[in-house]
Amino acid sequence: MNVEQEAQVVGQDRVAADAEGERIYVASQWQLIRWRFAHHKVAVFSLGVLIALYAVVLFAEFFAPYDPRRTDTDWMLAPPQRVHIFRDGRLHRPYVLGMTWEMDPQTFGITYEVDPTQVSPIYWFSRGDSYKLWELFETDLHLFGVQEGTVFLLGTDTMGRDLLSRIVHGGRLSLSVGLLGIAISFMLGITIGGFSGYFGGVFDTASQRVIEFIRSIPTLPLWMALSVSLPKGWSVTRVYFAIVVILSLVGWTGLARVVRGRFMSLRSEDFVMAARISGSSEPRIIFRHMLPSFTSHIIASLTLSIPGMILGETSLSFIGLGLQAPAISWGVLLKDAQHIRVLATAPWLLMPGAFIVIAILAFNFLGDGLRDAADPYAR
């Protein structure tokens, strides 16, 4: 490459760099946040995982191959059935092999054996147990199923219920707890933290003492104490919303402190003084001018708080102080794995824990990506 060609390449690179710099210079803050977030590959992948999880639980009846409350005493603690795609050395429609079982007359333990003669092809968009989607549309269409035999991809529980179907339906409660709990925590944290940081005075002192008192109590014992106070005769729906409120009343303190610190640093800024001089009311200054200036940080903080809500519901249900059967949540399902004797013979009962780990890690990685993208000018 001669000198003229090198100079031409350098000139092109400089023009491209100038164009990129101008694009960044004229971009809005949200555009910069979006561009920076797109470079965080783990966060983008985690967002895809969470979208898939919420889509599955939203249409849980369709994705679950069976009714989650359907019991079958012939298949109690049946092991997971493997999916095969080859038969006799040739590519075959996905299928599972049937099982036979035998009971020990002394221990009454059931032993399952794979029966290679029972072949159950898996069909997409198969007909199965009827259900009402969102209590509106009655149908019996499922994503997959078999016409004969069984398809227990994750095994069954102590009552012969399909574990995969119960995990899919359980995610509806466990994952929605985080969203509803964060919504309530958001309102409390923004309101109390905003007024505390903006006005100060007696309200600030009193609210900070309350926050310090709540945060000084260990979280799990506080959850347990509040859960025990719930009446025993409440329905599943009332207990569910009570658990959401309990988790929210404990979880709003962290966001309130973040908002308070931001408001204290922003209330003397020039744009706030200009809004006050122009005659804007105090609520308008708070919610129209100050709050939008760090919305991205609030979103990142809320995303990182959702895993705590999910773990809170799971912990309370696992120890018997949260949701109870017939409600289906990941914590309720894990309660079946408390007994070592059952767990030794049916380790697949721990599968709800794997979904909890996946959801928690996805929210944490997404929160990390949003937190990094919230300051698009950082290097």
Give the DSSP letter of residue 1.
Answer: -
Per-residue pLDDT of the chain (379 residues; tens, 9 = 90+): 555 555 454 455 454 444 555 555 555 666 777 777 788 889 899 999 999 999 999 999 999 999 998 888 888 888 899 998 888 878 888 999 888 878 777 766 778 888 888 888 999 999 888 988 887 888 889 999 998 888 999 989 888 899 999 999 999 988 988 888 888 888 888 888 888 888 888 888 898 888 888 888 777 777 777 777 777 778 888 888 888 888 888 778 888 888 888 888 887 778 888 888 888 887 788 777 777 777 777 777 778 788 888 888 888 888 777 788 888 889 888 887 777 777 778 888 889 989 999 999 999 888 888 877 776 555 5
Task: Report yes or no: 271 and 203 within 8 Å, Cβ to Cβ.
Answer: no
Q: What pLDDT, on a 0 to 100 scale, did the predictor assign at position 301?
A: 77
Phi, psi at residue 93, to the nearest 5°? Answer: -55, 140
- CATH for 167-373 is 1.10.3720.10
User: Can you count the helices (H) and strands (E) in the chain?
Assistant: 14, 4
**What three-state secondary structure class fits 336?**
coil
**Is residue 151 within 8 Å of 122, Cβ to Cβ?**
yes
Q: Is 64 helix (H, G, I), strand (E, B) or coil?
A: coil
Residue 17 is predicted with a pLDDT of 47
Joined tokens for residue 168? 């899919």
Q: Are the beta carbons of 320 and 160 closer than 8 angstroms? A: no
The residue among 65, 62, 58, 55 whose CA lies nearest residue 161 is: 65
Beta strands 137-146 and 110-133, pairing class: antiparallel
Helix, strand or coil for residue 281? coil
pLDDT at 2: 55
- What pLDDT is recorded for position 25? 52
Q: How far is the CA of 136 from the CAs of 74, 115, 182, in angstroms?
A: 33, 40, 28
- Which DSSP symbol is given to 333? H
- Domain boundaries for CATH 1.10.3720.10 within the chain: 167-373
Which residue in 102, 100, 101, 94 sits closest to 65, CA to CA? 94
Are 161 and 69 in contact by the 8 Å Cβ rule? The answer is yes
**In the prediction, which pLDDT does 303 show?**
81
**Of residues 241, 253, 345, 234, the one with CA closest to residue 305:** 253
